[in-house]
Amino acid sequence: MNLRTLIPVGRGRPSLWAWNDNPFMSLQREVERVFDDFSRGFPTFGATELTPKMDVFETDKEFGLTAELPGLEEKDVEVNVTDNILTIRGEKKAEKEQKDKDYRMVERSYGSFARSVELPAGIDPDAIKATITKGVLKVTVPKPAPAITKKVGIKAAA
């Protein structure tokens, strides 16, 4: 079992070789940098700001992850496992709007989010534990028992 299977599911980056030796990749990187610099001062649309930041770790007995979910409580977050994909879903709800307030700037984000991580094969979904404390979600996944190899006897056909 390697830690690579715990990397979040999604679009990956090309290899280091592709970025350094391919002139078109270098051009693409520069264009992306220009657009990132240009849009840095503008508000972002969609749920990208709500995507929780995660740390994924491994010990001798378990895999785990911690996710930052500031302002969220147990009732706002859901953790599911389907076909070895662990998904964290949640929603940050807006406070009641008061009509007498005139906002000059709004930087806080509201809405729903989801983040998925592929788990190794053989995980027992019933053994997964999740806790949330002060806006930090911690999920622990016990490692599966090592596969047992059984030698099968071969008999001559009659």
Residue written as token pair 């599966």: 144
Tokens found for residue 110: 């509201």
- Counting the structural domains of the chain, the total is 1
Say if 24 falls within a structural domain.
no
pTM for this entry: 0.60
**Whole domain around residue 87: which residue ranges?**
3-11+47-95+108-142
Residues 6+ apart with CB under 8 A from 109: 47, 49, 50, 92
CATH number at residue 53: 2.60.40.790
pLDDT in tens, the chain (158 residues): 555 555 555 555 544 444 456 777 777 878 887 777 666 655 544 444 678 889 999 999 999 999 999 888 999 999 999 988 999 999 888 776 666 777 677 677 778 889 999 988 888 999 999 999 999 999 999 998 888 899 999 999 87
Say if 17 falls within a structural domain.
no
Q: What share of the chain is helix, strand, coil (3-state, %, to 5)?
A: 25, 30, 45
